[in-house]
Structure 1
C-alpha cells in the first residue's frame, strides 16, 4: 500500500493495522504488550525505541521491510522474520519445551539420569556457549535432549536428588533463554524464563533463584519492561545479600552480575546516576573475588565489569568516555567469545555516535570474526551493520555491503 512520506512511525503503524482489519488489542497482544502501550505509540505519546518490539510489530503486520514502518529513507531493507522461527534449531527446542509430559511414568525412577550427570552436561554446554563462534547452532543442537532429560529427572527423583535435579533444570532453562534470545517467539521466551525461576524456587536454592532472576531480568528488559526488570534483579540481590559474607565465589558472582544488569537497565533508560551507582556495586563485588574469577554462565568477573563500563557509557551516549575506556581494555582476558564480540559491537556503536564510520566498520568486522552468530542474531549489531551500509564512505561501501550481507541486512532491490 502507498503510505504518505510525512507520516510518523505511530501513524504508519495505525494505518497498517487498520488496513489489515486488526484491532489495537489484537496487535498489541501479538507483540506481548497491552493496548494502552500501542495507543501511546500510535498517537506519538511514546517513542518506539526497542528494536525487538519494532521487529515484532513488523512481523505481526506482515511487513517485510522495517522502513515501511519507520519511514526512514534507506538503501537497506532490514529483513523481518515473518515465520515463527528464525533459526534452524528452534523447532526441536520448541517441541522439547511445549511437549513436556504432565505426569511421571510409573516405575520410571530407576531410569532417571543422575542430576550430577545432567549438571555436568549443562556446565559443558555453557562452556561451549562462551567458546564457540557458532554458539547458537552448536548449543541449540544439545538443548532438546538436555531439556527432556532434566525435566524427567526433576519429576522422577525425590529428596536431595530431586533438589539437585531442579537446580540443573533451572540451569538448562537459563541456557535455553540465552541460546534462543532474539530468535524465539515471545511466548517461548516467557515460558523458558518462568520455568527457570520456578525450578529454582522449588529447589529452594538461593543462588539458582538469583541466577534465574538475572535471566528473567534479561527477558523483561529486552521486551521493554525496564521497571519490572529492575524489580526482579534487585529483589533477587536481596535474597542473596545475607549470605555474601561467607558465600561461595559463584554466589557472589551472580550477585555482582545482578548489579551490572541493573546498571545497564538504568543506562538504557537514561538514568546516569543510578547506572554508575550499580556499576560501582558490581565493581566492588569483583574486587572481593580472586582476580582470575569468572562466573561460569554470566562470566561475571574483573573483565566483565570493565566491559560493562563501556556498555553503560555507550548506552548513556557518552561515546568519548566509552571509547576511552575501551582503549584501556585487553579483550583477550575475557574467556567468552560471545562477550568479546558484544564488546566490539558496543565499541562500534560508540564510533557511530561520534560519526566515525570507518572505525565502526573495522570493529564490526572484528566482532563478526570473533562471534559470527552473536553479531547475526543481536539486534543492536544488525542496526549498526544497516547504518554502515547506508552511510559508509564511498570507498568503504564494498566492505560495508559485504558485512551487511553476512549479517543479513541486504540492499533493497
Structure 2
C-alpha cells in the first residue's frame, strides 16, 4: 500500500541528501535560507538533496547539522558509527533525579511545607551557586529535586490569596532554574513541561517579574526548536513586553532588567532570521534599558546588565554571520566583566564562533579552551562548541588537529 506520509529520515535506506531535505522540511526552513546559513547557493543545496553531489566533507556536514539543529549526527548521516550528540548533551548523571522530581505528582506530604521567605533564601543561594560553580549542572542537580518538591508543597499549603501568589512566584522561579539544567539534555518533552509549568505558575502569581522570566525562557525554547517556531518566540516576547510596559516607569531593577532581557531576545530571534536592521534595533533598545540600571547591577537569572550588552552584541553579529563584526565586538566586550561562570563560558563560545567565521581558527580554539576553563559543563553541552571542535579534529594542520583532539577529550567528544 502506498503511503503519503513524510519519509522517516532515520529509517534505512535513506540517502544523505534525502535526509537533509526531510529534516529541512520538518524545521520549516526553505532551501534558500538553509543555503544562506551554510554560505552556499540554493542550487548547490538542491544538488546535494537530489544526490547529484555526494556527501560533503565533515566540516560541511557539521555545519548542516548545526543549521538544522540535528540532535544526533547519525540522524543526518545515517551512519550509526557517527552517533555524536550535538545540540543535546549525552545526558547529565543527575538528570534522572531532576526528572523524577518534576514528574512526581505529590498528593501527600511527608514534611512540613517551607514558607515563601525560606524558599526565597534557598532560591537566592541556588542562583548564586549556579553562577559561581564551574560544574554548575552538578550543583543544580543536587539542589533541584528538593526545591521542586518543596515549592509544590508550599503552593498547596498556602492559606491566603496573597500567600498563594507569593508561593506561585517561587514555584515559577524554581521551574526557571530547572530549565537551565534541562536545556541541551536529551529530553525535549521535559524541557517543554518545565517551560509550560513555569509560565502557568507565573501567571497564577500575578508577579510581573515572574511572568517576564517565564516568557524569556519560553521564547528561548521556541527559538531553539528551529525556524518554524520563530513566530511563536516573537509572539511571546512581544506580548510579554506589552504586558510589562505599564510597570516600567516605576519598576524595580529586576523588572526593568527582565524587560531588557526580553528586548534582546527579540533581537536574537531577528538575527536568527538574518534580519540585520531589526536585530540591531532591538539590541539598541535593550542597551538603552541597561543604561537605566545601576552600573554594578547584574540580574540573577538572565544576567542582564550593562556588562552583558557587549556579549549580546557578539551574539547578534555571529548569528548574522558577520565574522569581522563579531571579532570587533569581541574585542570591545572583553573590556567588561561577566561574573557568572556559565554565562562567561557561553560568551567565549560565541566569540569562538565569530573567530571561526573570520577564519581565525587558532584563536577560536584558544577561546574555546578559555570557555572550558570558565565552566566545563557549559561547553560540554553546547552544540556550537562541539561542532567547531569536531571540525578541527579533521584540520589539515597537525597542530590544530592535536589541539582540537585534546579539547575533544576534555569535553567528552573523544575517548582519552
User: TM-score normalised by the shorter chain: which range applies?
Assistant: 0.7 to 0.9
Counterparts of 1:150 and 1:168 in 2: how far apart (Å)?
Answer: 7
Query: Which residue is equivalent to 1:116?
Result: 117
Query: Which residue is equivalent to 1:221?
Result: 223
> Structure 1 residues 132, 40: CA separation in 2 closer, same or farther (over 3 Å shift)?
closer
Checking the alignment, whether the CA contact within 8 Å between 1:66 and 1:80 is kept in structure 2 is no
Matches within 5 A, 1:366-385: 366-385=370-389
Q: Which SS does the other structure have where 1:328 is aligned? A: helix
> For residues 17-49 of structure 1, what are the alpha-carbon distances to aligned partners after superposition, in whole Å with 9 as ceiling and x for unaligned?
2659xxxxxx9xxxxxx99943978x9698496
Query: Which residue is equivalent to 1:126?
Result: 127
Shift of residue 89, structure 1, vs aligned partner: 0.7
Query: Which residue is equivalent to 2:365?
Result: 361
Q: Which SS does the other structure have where 1:391 is aligned? A: coil
Which range moves more in the overlay, 378-387 or 137-146? 378-387
Question: Could you tell me which of 211, 214, 230 is aligned with 2:213?
Answer: 211
Query: Which residue is equivalent to 1:31?
Result: none
Q: Is 1:68 paired with 2:77?
A: yes
> Structure 1 residues 69, 44: CA separation in 2 closer, same or farther (over 3 Å shift)?
farther
> Structure 1 residues 205, 228: CA separation in 2 closer, same or farther (over 3 Å shift)?
same
Shift of residue 322, structure 1, vs aligned partner: 1.3
Structure 1 length as normaliser, TM-score? 0.82
Shift of residue 254, structure 1, vs aligned partner: 0.3
Shift of residue 152, structure 1, vs aligned partner: 0.7
Query: Which residue is equivalent to 1:61?
Result: none
Structure 2 length as normaliser, TM-score? 0.82
Query: Which residue is equivalent to 1:284?
Result: 288
Counterparts of 1:46 and 1:54 in 2: how far apart (Å)?
Answer: 14
Runs of 4+ in 1 over 6 A off after TM superposition: 43-46
> For residues 37-95 of structure 1, what are the alpha-carbon distances to aligned partners after superposition, in whole Å with 9 as ceiling and x for unaligned?
43978x96984967496544x4xxxxx74662499xxxx946239x9971111101111
Q: Which runs of 5+ in 1 are unaligned?
A: 1-12, 21-26, 28-33, 59-63
Question: Could you tell me which of 84, 90, 111 is aligned with 2:95?
Answer: 90
Shift of residue 393, structure 1, vs aligned partner: 2.1
Counterparts of 2:94 and 2:206 in 1: how far apart (Å)?
Answer: 32
Shift of residue 171, structure 1, vs aligned partner: 0.2
Counterparts of 1:280 and 1:334 in 2: how far apart (Å)?
Answer: 20
Counterparts of 2:65 and 2:320 in 1: how far apart (Å)?
Answer: 15
Q: How many residue pairs were aligned?
A: 373
Checking the alignment, whether the CA contact within 8 Å between 1:139 and 1:179 is kept in structure 2 is yes
Q: Which runs of 5+ in 2 are unaligned?
A: 1-6, 36-63
Shift of residue 251, structure 1, vs aligned partner: 0.5
> For residues 326-381 of structure 1, what are the alpha-carbon distances to aligned partners after superposition, in whole Å with 9 as ceiling and x for unaligned?
11223662111111111111111111112221111111111111110000011111
Q: Is 1:400 paired with 2:401?
A: no
> Structure 1 residues 373, 52: CA separation in 2 closer, same or farther (over 3 Å shift)?
farther
Counterparts of 2:260 and 2:65 in 1: how far apart (Å)?
Answer: 26
> Structure 1 residues 392, 226: CA separation in 2 closer, same or farther (over 3 Å shift)?
farther
Q: Which SS does the other structure have where 1:390 is aligned? A: coil
Query: Which residue is equivalent to 2:60?
Result: none
> Structure 1 residues 70, 391: CA separation in 2 closer, same or farther (over 3 Å shift)?
farther
Shift of residue 130, structure 1, vs aligned partner: 1.1
Shift of residue 214, structure 1, vs aligned partner: 0.3
Counterparts of 1:395 and 1:37 in 2: how far apart (Å)?
Answer: 39
Counterparts of 2:410 and 2:353 in 1: how far apart (Å)?
Answer: 19
Query: Which residue is equivalent to 2:171?
Result: 169
Q: Which SS does the other structure have where 1:302 is aligned? A: coil
Q: Which SS does the other structure have where 2:141 is aligned? A: helix
Shift of residue 257, structure 1, vs aligned partner: 0.3
Checking the alignment, whether the CA contact within 8 Å between 1:351 and 1:359 is kept in structure 2 is yes
Matches within 5 A, 1:329-368: 329-330=333-334, 333-368=337-372
Shift of residue 158, structure 1, vs aligned partner: 2.8
Q: Which SS does the other structure have where 2:347 is aligned? A: helix
Counterparts of 1:323 and 1:78 in 2: how far apart (Å)?
Answer: 32
Q: Is 1:267 paired with 2:261?
A: no
Q: Is 1:38 paired with 2:32?
A: no
Query: Which residue is equivalent to 2:309?
Result: 305
Query: Which residue is equivalent to 2:105?
Result: 100
Checking the alignment, whether the CA contact within 8 Å between 1:331 and 1:340 is kept in structure 2 is no
- Aligned CA RMSD, in angstroms, stands at 3.1
Counterparts of 2:371 and 2:253 in 1: how far apart (Å)?
Answer: 30
Query: Which residue is equivalent to 2:154?
Result: 153
Checking the alignment, whether the CA contact within 8 Å between 1:77 and 1:410 is kept in structure 2 is no
